[in-house]
C-alpha cells in the first residue's frame, strides 16, 4: 500500500477537523470557567463575610457584653472606643465602614466594616485557602483541556478512519486497475455512501472512456503496422532475391545491400515507434551476451564509422551476460551508437560494461548544459549536425522506464558525451 505524507492525508484532515471542533468547543468552555471561577470565588468570599457580619451584629444586639472570637482565617471585632481601636491589628486600624481588600505581608484579607452608632463592627477574612483552591481549580481546568486535546485527536483519528474507509478502499481498487481493465467489475457498489458512490461512478465512466480510446488506438496502430510492414517485407524479400542472383554486378550488389539495410532499419524503427506509442513489450526476457549485442547494434553503422575513420572500441568480455529483453537492449544500443556516430567527426566510439553499468562514450561535439533537461523530449535535436528525427533518445528513455533501467549522461561541449545505462 502506498503511504502518503500525513499532512496531505484525507484521514488526517478529517481527524484535525473533528479534533479542532472539539478543542474549540471545550476550550471555549474552559476559558469561560477559568475567568468565571474568580468571580464565583469572590462572590463566595463576600457571602461568607456578610453572613459573619450579620451574625456578629445579631449577637451584639442580644448580648452587648459578649467577647468576639478570633480564628486563624476569620476574625471579628467589636470596637467601642479609640482604645479598642488601637488594640486591633495594624492593618485593621482606621478603616471606614465599607468593604476593603488588604494585602498584608504574604496574606490577603477581605475586610467588611459596619458601624451602628458609635460601635464599629469589623470582620476580616484571610483568603489564603480560597486562593489555593482557585489555583487548583484553574490548574484542573487547564489539565482537563490538555487531556481533551489528546483525546480529541485520538478519537478524531479513529473516527476519521471510519469516515474515509470507503475512499481508501476505492483508492486501493483503482490502484489495482490497469488502463481499460474491466475484469474487476464496476467500482461503484450498492453499500457506498452517496458521495463516494458518485466518485466511483465518475471513475467507472472515465475507465470506460479510456478503454474505448485504447481500443481505437490499438486498432489504428495495428492497421498502420500491417500497412507499413507489408512493403518493408516486400523490399527485404526482393533484396534477398536480387542478392541470390549470381550475375549481379558488384556495384548493384552494394546498392541492394544498402537498400536491405535501410529497409531493416525502417522495420526496427517501426517497431520502436510502436513501442513508444503503445508501451508494448519488445520481446521476451532472456540471457544476452552484451558484447555480441553491441556488435549487432553497431553492424549497420560500420560503413559510416569506417568513412569517418573513427576508432570503435568494445571493452566488454565475450562471457559478460545480462538477463534482459534482447530486442530492447539492441534498440537502446543502436540508438545510442547511432547518435555517437552522427555527432562525432573524429576520435573514437567506446562501449564499456562495469558493475552492471553499460557506457557508450564518444569524442564528439558534446551537449550544451542548457539542452540536458530537453534531451529525452520527442523531436528535440540539440544540433543541426547529423540526420534523424530526434526520437532516438526518447525511445531509449521510454525503454529504460519500461524495464526499470536507469539512464545517466555526462557531457562536455567540444569534448564528447557518455551515456550510462544502469541495470537493476
CA angle (9, 12, 15) in 5-degree steps: 150
Digits of tens for pLDDT over the chain (424 positions)?
444 444 556 667 777 777 788 778 888 888 888 778 778 878 888 888 888 888 888 888 887 766 666 666 788 888 888 888 888 888 888 888 898 888 877 778 888 888 888 888 888 888 777 777 778 877 888 888 888 888 877 877 777 777 677 777 777 777 777 655 555 567 777 667 677 777 777 877 887 887 787 777 767 766 776 677 778 888 888 888 887 776 778 888 778 888 887 787 777 767 666 665 655 555 678 899 999 999 988 888 888 888 889 999 999 998 999 988 888 888 889 889 988 898 888 999 999 999 899 999 999 888 888 887 778 776 665 554 545 556 778 888 888 888 889 999 998 888 899 999 999 8
Contact criterion met (CB below 8 Å) for 121 and 53: yes
Distance between terminal CA atoms of the chain? Answer: 23
Q: Which cell goes with 284?
A: 521476451
196: CB partners within 8 A, 6+ apart: 166, 167, 170
**Distance (Å, rounded) from C-alpha 242 to C-alpha 102?**
124
**DSSP line for 151-162:** HHHHHHHHHHHH
**Distance (Å, rounded) from C-alpha 185 to C-alpha 149?**
43
Half-sphere exposure of 378 (CA within 13 A, CB side): 5
CA dihedral 354, 289, 339, 302 (to 10 degrees): 120
Provide the 10 A C-beta neighbour count for residue 330: 19
367: CB partners within 8 A, 6+ apart: 375, 382, 409, 411, 413, 417
Q: Which cell goes with 80?
A: 467601642
**Distance (Å, rounded) from C-alpha 202 to C-alpha 92?**
83
**Distance (Å, rounded) from C-alpha 278 to C-alpha 283?**
14
Cα Rg of the chain, angstroms: 47
Q: Which cell goes with 339?
A: 547518435
Amino acid at each position: 500500500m502506498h503511504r502518503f505524507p500525513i499532512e496531505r492525508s484525507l484521514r488526517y484532515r478529517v481527524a484535525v477537523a473533528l479534533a479542532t471542533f472539539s478543542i474549540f468547543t471545550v476550550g471555549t468552555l474552559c476559558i469561560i470557567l477559568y475567568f468565571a471561577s474568580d468571580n464565583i470565588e469572590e462572590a463566595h468570599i463576600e457571602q461568607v463575610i456578610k453572613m459573619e457580619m450579620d451574625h456578629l451584629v445579631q449577637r451584639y444586639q442580644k448580648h452587648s457584653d459578649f467577647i468576639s472570637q478570633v480564628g486563624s482565617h476569620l476574625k471579628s471585632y467589636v470596637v467601642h472606643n479609640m482604645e479598642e481601636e488601637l488594640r486591633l491589628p495594624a492593618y485593621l486600624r482606621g478603616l471606614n465602614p465599607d468593604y476593603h481588600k488588604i494585602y498584608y505581608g504574604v496574606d490577603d484579607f477581605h475586610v467588611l466594616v459596619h458601624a451602628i452608632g458609635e460601635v464599629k463592627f469589623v470582620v476580616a477574612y484571610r483568603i489564603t485557602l480560597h486562593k489555593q483552591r482557585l489555583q487548583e481549580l484553574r490548574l484542573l481546568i487547564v489539565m482537563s483541556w490538555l487531556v481533551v486535546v489528546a483525546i480529541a485527536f485520538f478519537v478524531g483519528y479513529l473516527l476519521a478512519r471510519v469516515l474515509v474507509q470507503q475512499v481508501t478502499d476505492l483508492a486501493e481498487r483503482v490502484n489495482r486497475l490497469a488502463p481499460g481493465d474491466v475484469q474487476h467489475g464496476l467500482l461503484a457498489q450498492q453499500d457506498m455512501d452517496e458521495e463516494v458512490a458518485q466518485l466511483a461512478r465518475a471513475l467507472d465512466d472515465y475507465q470506460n472512456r479510456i478503454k474505448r480510446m485504447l481500443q481505437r488506438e490499438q486498432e489504428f496502430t495495428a492497421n498502420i503496422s500491417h500497412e507499413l510492414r507489408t512493403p518493408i517485407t516486400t523490399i527485404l524479400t526482393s533484396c534477398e532475391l536480387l542478392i541470390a542472383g549470381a550475375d549481379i554486378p558488384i556495384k548493384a550488389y552494394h546498392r541492394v545491400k544498402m537498400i536491405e539495410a535501410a529497409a531493416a532499419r525502417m522495420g526496427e524503427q517501426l517497431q520502436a515507434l510502436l513501442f513508444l506509442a503503445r508501451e508494448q513489450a519488445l520481446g521476451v526476457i532472456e540471457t544476452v551476451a552484451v558484447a555480441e549485442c553491441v556488435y549487432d547494434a553497431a553492424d549497420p553503422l560500420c560503413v559510416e564509422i569506417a568513412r569517418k575513420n573513427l576508432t570503435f572500441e568494445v571493452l566488454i568480455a565475450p562471457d559478460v551476460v545480462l538477463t534482459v529483453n534482447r530486442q530492447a537492449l539492441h534498440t537502446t544500443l543502436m540508438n545510442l551508437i547511432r547518435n555517437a556516430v552522427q555527432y562525432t567527426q573524429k576520435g573514437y566510439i567506446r562501449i564499456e560494461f562495469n558493475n552492471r553499468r553499460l557506457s557508450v562514450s564518444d569524442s564528439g561535439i558534446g551537449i550544451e548544459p542548457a539542452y540536458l533537461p530537453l534531451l529525452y523530449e520527442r523531436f528535440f535535436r540539440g544540433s543541426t549536425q547529423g540526420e534523424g528525427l530526434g526520437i532516438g533518445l526518447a525511445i531509449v528513455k521510454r525503454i529504460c522506464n519500461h524495464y526499470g533501467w536507469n539512464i545517466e549522461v555526462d557531457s562536455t561541449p567540444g569534448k564528447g558525451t557518455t551515456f550510462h545505462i544502469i541495470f537493476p
